[in-house]
Structure 1
Amino acid sequence: MIRPQVVPFYRAIPRLVKDPVTELARMGTDAAGRVVRLDLGPFRPYLISHPDHVQQVLKTDWTNFVRAGMFWRPLQRLIGEDSIFGEGEGWASARKILQPLFTARYTASLADDMADIITECVRELDDFARTGRPVDGTHQMASIVNQTIIKVLFGGRISRDTAERLAPEFATCATSIGFRLLFPFAPYSIKVPGDRAFLRSAKKIDEIVYSVIEQAQSEDNQSKEIVSALLTARREQDGTIGLRQVRDDLVNIYGAAGETTAMALTWLWSVLHDHPEVSARLQEEVDRVVGGGPVRPSHVAELRYLRMVLDELLRVYPPGWLLPRQTVADTEIGGVPIKAGSQVLVSPYTTHRLEEFWPRPTEFDPERWAGENAERRHRYSFIPFGAGPHVCLGQHLFYVQAPLVIANMLSRYRPVLANARKLTPVPGGATLRPKEMLLFRLHPIERNRAA
């Protein structure tokens, strides 16, 4: 029997309150990937980061590590219990219906429409470029991604004004549950910071999503956008359409398709500012492959360095930064006995910083992904979208959508940070967000002014 490394209460609580993401990762890296027990008073979860342990929890023994328990309760108030982020029959049903809508082939069929919409959205930033007004990076990246999802996946059933309201409501839900994620043992009978904002935004999200469902039902068409496909699939599988189930499906789709990409794109501009050599090489590739013309899906495969930058971005800032699980039966992880009912925290943010698998882990180096460098590492040392049966459905969409946005931005402008600063990663629900506002100015590229 091996004892876990224990972080005592008097050290764990102040560190997690001050800087939860960075300090949690430091606890894992200080232990060099060994199992860590966090003493949080009445709550003592295990922190898991070694790729071998990640493989056990997410893949080989995944049925013994379920998405349940205290850490999931704050999220389930928004995403539902019988959803793609749930377990059991509800999860299996949702997965069977949603997985075909997120395959590489289906995503590729939407790529041309996505490219058109993203090009149009980026062109709308010309006014910022002409006037020199700073762009709110988080807001604009979310807005571009949001409009793409609404038009391509939801069939444009949400007006632009409504869509612009939807993204902030999701952001509020994500950021307002921070207290409950840090202190999941707090009873729900007591209102804690963020509860009122969460419930207010969740109600507004319901109003928007239910109206989309009702509109799609009245149209009853067979188009390829996801709302119609989802209604058809639910009707064929269940014999009827449960509005709450479809609502949960759509909320989860929106999160999987939008939140990941929007947050990754936000981090990118800060990274490029801090690494001018990476920025210059990326700009050169976009200039060479795309030039001044419109960015098309066919360009994405040619933007090889851009793919390397994106993979390194996901390593440093994995969108799914923490993957909570609860054990069903007594087990062992790395020789450490784990009792049934224990909370286990898989931490991609920590795994991606283990020096054994990532030399110079704090450095941003896209060359890690060049050729055989990427082939030699442990398969479970890179898990930005999770792994195993619960792997994130939105990963194929990310690798189409994110390159299209970046290539459009860099073929048209030279973004320059207007408030250069070190960004602090903070938990935003299931995703990783910068605590500080990110502002940049857009300098137009002369050849594109007539475009």
Structure 2
Amino acid sequence: MRRALPEFLREPAAALAGFAQQADGEVVRLELGPFRPYLVTHPDHVQQVVRTEWTNYQRQGMFWRPLERLFGDSILTDGEHWRNSRKILQPLFTPQYIATIADEMADRVAGRVEEWDEHVRAGRKIDGGAEMSDILGYIVNRTLFGDKLNRHDGERINPALETASRSLVYRILMPFVPYFVRIPGDRAFLKAVKAIDDVVSPVVRKAMATPDDGADVISVLCRSVDENGERLDAKQIRDALVSVYAASSETTATILTWLWPLLDRHPDVAARLQAEIDDVVGAGPVRPGHLPDLRYTRMVLQETLRMYPAGWLLPRVAVEDAEIGGVRIRSGSTLVISPYATQRLEEFWERPDEFDPERFAPGRSESEGRRHRYAYFPFGGGPHRCLGEHLFNVVAPLIVASILGRFRLSVRTPGPFTTGWTASLRPRQKVELSMSCAGRDRSGVL
């Protein structure tokens, strides 16, 4: 058993990676005060929990309780509500469906990025994390709400989600504290959830009162039925919308927030990325047809996902007694899975703490021996694999290519950047960016 609480409280994601490395990927029990979860990081063991024996390891228990007030019963739970929500939503996040709206998303990305011209003219610095969230919210609004939510109200959701993410982490990291005891973050979390409800609930009520045949998520939900064959009620639709909004936007916004400090520290990667975008896209706007040729861009994003997966903590509770890697797991025990830790195991990743997009070069894994399927799982795995993965694969390169095709960015916040106390893995420090127009400064690369 590893006494882990002091290190865990200092920087939880880094602490889990350290514990995993010291245990050589074996199952280890952590002593977090009165709470003693098992840390599961070896790819074989991760696969056992999230795929081959997934029904025995459920998303429930003390770690998940703080999320219930925010997301309710939908795709981030288990049981009938999860199965029904997944069945309804999955067709709207397939590669085929995303392809049908890709041109419109590209237009929206281009239009939103053009607004940065005003920041350049004013010599204004921007908060990289907030801007990435706003851009994603603007795009995801079309997919989820079909513009039933105006831009002003949509932009109220992102800061509320970030506040909730930062606030509920105290409950996630201290699940043993009773709820009648107020801890830091409780009040801010409840206020943030109310702000989200104040935006989403009126839109849901209006859509339910005047249903249409739209292909956006809210229209589909309004036409759908629950596991009992009855129309979804307002709370079920609200829970599904908030859950999928977070899954669709938060992952991408988080990854793109980490991208700028990484490029700032690795000018060789930044220069090659810039050269590819200039060569493939040229002076015109980025279109979905450019994406297959943005190969290095895709590699950079994959490596960023490896180093800083937004979903860094994936707890499960054992339903029945089991065994993982020779360790007896009793019914009711909590297991902690961490893509952040697994994706930094030296057994599977050479120089795991170094940013090296070449790891994802075509044919690289085959030449070095095929990489274990669960050595890299930034979108989770098994039946609970994130619905937003295909959206990320289109939207993220569109945003990166649109920004770097138009601007040259510089990170103004002094590093090093560390992982923060947030439910999704955002930097502890604000990522402040300054920019110039590419046409005025073709020589500058970050």
- TM-score range (shorter-chain normalised) is over 0.9
Q: What is the aligned length? A: 439
1:198-234 Cα deviation digits (max 9, x unpaired): 1111112112111111222233211111110121123
Structure 2 CA distance for aligned equivalents of residues 157 and 319 of structure 1: 28
Query: Which residues in structure 2 correspond to 1:206-225 (within 5 Å)?
Result: 206-225=197-216
Contact 1:270 1:420 in 2 (8 A): no
Q: Residue 381 of structure 2 corresponds to which residue in structure 1?
A: 387
Contact 1:68 1:325 in 2 (8 A): yes
Alignment CA distance shift 1:236-1:382 (3 Å):
closer
Q: Residue 2 of structure 2 corresponds to which residue in structure 1?
A: 7
Contact 1:268 1:313 in 2 (8 A): yes
3-state SS, counterpart of residue 324 of structure 1: strand
Q: Residue 54 of structure 2 corresponds to which residue in structure 1?
A: 62
Tell me, which stretches of 5 or more residues in structure 2 are unaligned?
Answer: none
User: Is structure 2 residue 328 aligned with structure 1 residue 334?
Assistant: no
Q: Which moved more, 1:245-254 or 1:33-42?
A: 33-42
Amino acid at match of 2:27: V
Query: Which residues in structure 2 correspond to 1:227-238 (within 5 Å)?
Result: 227-234=218-225, 238=229
Structure 2 CA distance for aligned equivalents of residues 241 and 71 of structure 1: 27
Query: Which residues in structure 2 correspond to 1:348-427 (within 5 Å)?
Result: 348-375=339-366, 376-427=370-421
Q: What's the % identity of the aligned pairs? A: 50
Shift of 1:42: 2.0
Shift of 1:368: 0.5
1:80-136 Cα deviation digits (max 9, x unpaired): 1x3111111111111111111111111111111111111000000001122321111
User: Is structure 2 residue 25 aligned with structure 1 residue 33?
Assistant: yes
3-state SS, counterpart of residue 433 of structure 2: strand
Q: Residue 70 of structure 2 corresponds to which residue in structure 1?
A: 78
User: Is structure 2 residue 105 aligned with structure 1 residue 114?
Assistant: yes
Query: Which residues in structure 2 correspond to 1:157-196 (within 5 Å)?
Result: 157-196=148-187
Contact 2:134 2:158 in 1 (8 A): yes
1:152-185 Cα deviation digits (max 9, x unpaired): 3211122222112111011111110121111101
Q: Residue 24 of structure 1 corresponds to which residue in structure 2?
A: 16
Q: Residue 284 of structure 2 corresponds to which residue in structure 1?
A: 293
Amino acid at match of 2:18: R
TM-score by length of 2: 0.96
Equivalent residue in structure 2 for 1:148, among 131, 139, 143? 139
Contact 2:156 2:196 in 1 (8 A): no
Shift of 1:237: 7.3
Shift of 1:25: 1.2
3-state SS, counterpart of residue 341 of structure 2: helix
Contact 1:412 1:448 in 2 (8 A): no
CA RMSD of aligned residues (A): 1.5
Structure 1 CA distance for aligned equivalents of residues 310 and 225 of structure 2: 29
Query: Which residues in structure 2 correspond to 1:224-263 (within 5 Å)?
Result: 224-234=215-225, 238-263=229-254
Q: Residue 438 of structure 2 corresponds to which residue in structure 1?
A: 445
1:46-69 Cα deviation digits (max 9, x unpaired): 001000000000000000100011
Shift of 1:24: 1.7
User: Is structure 2 residue 44 aligned with structure 1 residue 52?
Assistant: yes
3-state SS, counterpart of residue 105 of structure 1: helix
Structure 2 CA distance for aligned equivalents of residues 237 and 278 of structure 1: 53
User: Is structure 2 residue 120 aligned with structure 1 residue 132?
Assistant: no
Alignment CA distance shift 1:408-1:436 (3 Å):
same
Amino acid at match of 1:389: P
Amino acid at match of 1:421: G
3-state SS, counterpart of residue 238 of structure 1: coil
Shift of 1:33: 0.4
Amino acid at match of 1:176: S
Structure 2 CA distance for aligned equivalents of residues 448 and 252 of structure 1: 41
3-state SS, counterpart of residue 145 of structure 2: coil
1:307-330 Cα deviation digits (max 9, x unpaired): 100110000001110110000111
Q: Which moved more, 1:155-164 or 1:97-106?
A: 155-164
Contact 2:58 2:78 in 1 (8 A): yes
Q: Which moved more, 1:288-297 or 1:440-449?
A: 440-449
Q: Which moved more, 1:238-247 or 1:165-174?
A: 238-247
Amino acid at match of 2:217: I
Contact 1:272 1:278 in 2 (8 A): yes
Contact 2:105 2:395 in 1 (8 A): yes
Q: Residue 3 of structure 1 corresponds to which residue in structure 2?
A: none
Query: Which residues in structure 2 correspond to 1:267-346 (within 5 Å)?
Result: 267-346=258-337
Contact 2:13 2:341 in 1 (8 A): no
Structure 2 CA distance for aligned equivalents of residues 249 and 220 of structure 1: 17
Shift of 1:371: 2.1
Contact 2:163 2:189 in 1 (8 A): yes
Structure 2 CA distance for aligned equivalents of residues 216 and 421 of structure 1: 46
Amino acid at match of 2:380: G
